Amino acid sequence: MNQAVSPEKVAPAVEIAPAGIAPAAVTTAAAPVEAKAPPPAAQPSIFHHARYVIGENPVTGLAFAIFLLIVVCALFGPWIAPYDPLASNDATLSPPSAAHWFGTDQLGRDILSRVIVATRLDLGIAVASVALVFLLGGVSGVAAGFFGGWIDRVVGRLADTIMAFPLFVLAMGIVAALGNSVTNIVLATAIINFPLYARVARAEANTRRNAGYVLAARLSGNGEMRILLGQILPNVMPIMVVQMSLTMGYAILNAAGLSFIGLGVRPPTAEWGIMVAEGAAFMVSGEWWIAFFPGLALVLAVFCFNLLGDGLRDIVDPQRRT
């Protein structure tokens, strides 16, 4: 009588080695080996990218060199100036010479020394006004674009009101009403630049408030204010840095313009706008150097900051990384 054989008792099939091949040489098919993905390429540092941008664009490198010269004059001007900027001598209206490279003015003061020392005041006014308008216009614009609602309406109407006035005339009215001091010049310059910062910041924040990383942060339990300060504001900073650089030149021109018409810093303080105003009366009689060299300093400073804006845009924009 045939008995059923249980599956457990069935001997496993033995693989027979072909003739002429040792059993040890018989191998089963090897499992496929997964290829390791190459490690991600390291992102270049911002300093490496900045060096690349400056090397590829010599004009940007020239702007950075002029900016470094301006900073050195602003920090160490009183020590590197060859003469006292307020001291008079008998060599009045002296043309440029070996003793006085930029000549002297109607009071015998060395123009080179006054141009160097004036750098600190003009650059200080520009930096202070740009920092103030960033805090006022930039932050309020980011809040308006992110939250919307009544905050957006208030910031928008305030910017429209300021833009309704000729900006330089508005700055003149503010300084004339409050008094021509450095503090009031900084305040007036910040007020007239408020719409530029508010509108740029609002547009950037409005396009990013529904971005994926913002939604992920909101789903993670972060509050609105934390998202605003931790997610929106850092991503708006690159375009704001470019805006700040461009506004620096305009702030220097605004301060010099107010001083030129008598509403800025008062003589005998060394300031580029005052020096141009004092030298304008001598252009007809042939003493061109009194107004030329302070005006040249103004042109170089504004030219420098305008080019810096383009260079900083290439440096801080992640899409332009090499």
pLDDT tens digits, one per residue of 278-290:
898 888 888 899 9
Centre a 10 Å sphere on the Cβ of residue 104 and count the other Cβ atoms it contains.
28
Q: What is the pLDDT of residue 9?
A: 46
User: Between these two residues, 308 and 111, which has the higher pLDDT value?
Assistant: 111
pLDDT tens digits, one per residue of 67-118:
999 999 999 988 999 998 888 888 888 889 988 899 998 888 999 999 999 9
Could you give the C-alpha distances from 19 to 13, 16, 24, 29, 141, in angstroms and in order?
Answer: 18, 9, 13, 19, 85
Cβ atoms 81, 112 nearer than 8 A: yes
Cβ atoms 84, 113 nearer than 8 A: yes
3-state SS of the chain? CCCCCCHHHCCCCCCCCCCCCCHHHCCCCCCCCCCCCCCCCCCCCHHHHHHHHHHHCHHHHHHHHHHHHHHHHHHHHHHHCCCCCCCCCCCCCCCCCCCCCCCECCCCCEHHHHHHHHHHHHHHHHHHHHHHHHHHHHHHHHHHHHHCHHHHHHHHHHHHHHHCCCHHHHHHHHHHHHCCCHHHHHHHHHHHHHHHHHHHHHHHHHHHCCCHHHHHHHHCCCCHHHHHHHHHHHHHHHHHHHHHHHHHHHHHHHHHHHHHCCCCCCCCCCCHHHHHHHHHCCCCCCCCHHHHHHHHHHHHHHHHHHHHHHHHHHHHCHHHCC
| Residue 21 binned pLDDT confidence (cut-offs 50, 70, 90) | very low
* Percent with pLDDT over 70 in the chain: 79
Centre a 10 Å sphere on the Cβ of residue 162 and count the other Cβ atoms it contains.
18
pLDDT tens digits, one per residue of 171-216:
999 999 998 889 999 999 999 999 999 999 999 888 888 888 888 8
Angle between the N-to-C axes of helices 167-178 and 182-208, in degrees from 0 to 180, rounded to the nearest 10:
140
Residue 280 contacts by C-beta under 8 Å, 6 or more apart in sequence? 291
d(CA 260, CA 294): 12
Structural domains of the chain sorted by starting position, each given as residue range(s) with its CATH number in brackets: 46-84+98-320 (1.10.3720.10)
| pTM attached to this predicted model | 0.77
pLDDT tens digits, one per residue of 251-278:
999 999 999 988 888 888 889 999 999 8
Least confident of 18-22, 118-122, 155-159: 18-22
| pLDDT beyond 80 at 156 | yes
